[in-house]
Amino acid sequence: LIDKPFLKVTDMLKVAPDLVRLQSYRSVYGYVSKFIKDDFLRRCFSFHPLLIGGNPLDAASLYVLIHYLERAWGIHYALGGTGAIVQAFDRLLAELGVTVHLNAEVAEILVEDGRATGIRLADGAVHRADNVVANADVAWTYLNLLPARHRHTNTDRRIQNLKYSMSLFVIYFGTKKRYIQAGGGYPQLAHHNIILSKRYKGLLREIFGQGGLPTDFSLYLHMPTLTDPSMAPAGHEAFYVLSPVPHLGADIDWAQAAGPYRDAIMNFLEENYLPDLQANLVAEHYIDPRHFQHTLNSYLGSAFSVQPTLLQSAWFRPHNRSEDIP
């Protein structure tokens, strides 16, 4: 269920007993609620689908496996941050003799006789290949890179009718003050901090619905300098905070909403977790759903692509190997 591709319907049939045993027809929240009565603990043990773009009220209960994955495999952080991972990949590819073409926008995946045979770049250059691997957003790939005449399964209609994850509002910021030690009644922060709104179900319905921007929020606050001081100059702290928000299918004008939403989050952090935060800011920028759509080519600005509902999981999800170009 967790580390195998589902390319054929028989792959799905093999795990059907596990899906029944895990009562996958239930939502994660519904499944957790069978065992836990306390409202706060229900929130604590059911929010995890948000980490992969799912609504805990809709995501199939099989995603309680996230708890197991974290316990069995651990949660890891690369010293130097994500940039260090990118640099390591660059070194590895160089050692293997791989040439990486940067700033080379792909315009089309070329298909001949039912097989992907290469790519055409925006400047018209063609690169032939034995295999084509697309690591872009799946909806963007099908709707923009693979012409409709080659798609009989992943049609425009199918892709557009899928349920997509929420988006994110993310603020990256640095301070000239360290927040390692709590004080003055403020809680002690960890590397990873989950801050859940007391309004749980209603907030989730607004985030995953087509309404406006909620006035309250749940947050994830990341404080990497607690583990890795190299992420900021001496005496400084690095953070990012993210808030799940509706994707661009919702009626929200982010050109108008982004600034006030940023202010609300930073004021909340200052009042409850990071005293004198805004007086100590030395670096900051934020991204909203427009960034996910226009920079990351994510359909509707969704942060995690296709939602992990039961009928959009495993074999029902767009496959790792395209059904249209096997």
pLDDT in tens for each of the 326 residues of the chain?
566 777 777 776 777 777 777 777 789 999 999 999 999 999 999 999 999 899 999 988 888 888 888 888 888 999 999 999 999 999 999 999 999 999 999 999 999 999 999 999 999 999 999 999 999 999 999 999 999 999 999 999 999 999 999 999 999 999 999 998 777 778 899 999 999 998 999 999 999 986 789 989 999 999 999 999 999 999 999 999 999 999 999 999 999 999 999 999 999 999 999 999 999 999 999 999 999 999 999 999 999 999 988 777 776 778 888 989 87
Q: What is the pLDDT of residue 61?
A: 86
Place of tokens 């994955």: 69
- Please say whether the beta carbons of 63 and 52 come within 8 A: yes
The one-character DSSP state at 36 is: -
- What lies within 8 Å, CB to CB, of 291 at 6+ separation is 301
Copy the structure tokens of residue 136: 């872009």
Please give the single-letter amino acid code of residue 5: P
Please give the single-letter amino acid code of residue 71: R
User: Looking at the domain 82-161, which fold is it?
Assistant: FAD/NAD(P)-binding domain (3.50.50)
CA dist 325 and 119 (Å) reads 14
Please give the single-letter amino acid code of residue 231: M
CA dist 53 and 250 (Å) reads 16
Cβ burial 117-151 (10 Å sphere, 16+ → b, else e): bbbeeeeeeeeeeeebebeebbbbbbbbbbeeebb
Q: What is the pLDDT of residue 3?
A: 64
3-state SS record for 253-299: CHHHHHHHHHHHHHHHHHHHCCCCCCCCEEEEEEECHHHHHHCCCCH
- Please say whether the beta carbons of 52 and 312 come within 8 A: no
Place of tokens 């009042």: 271
- Please say whether the beta carbons of 247 and 290 come within 8 A: no
Partner residues linked to 119 by β-bridges: 109, 127
Q: What is the pLDDT of residue 309?
A: 84
First to last CA, the chain: 22
User: Domain 167-301 - what CATH class?
Assistant: alpha beta
Q: CATH 3.30.519 in the chain: give the residue spans.
A: 167-301
Q: What is the pLDDT of residue 186?
A: 84
Specify burial of residue 177 (Cβ count, 10 A radius: 0-12, 13-18, 19+): middle
Q: CATH 3.50.50.60 in the chain: give the residue spans.
A: 82-161
CA dist 48 and 221 (Å) reads 15
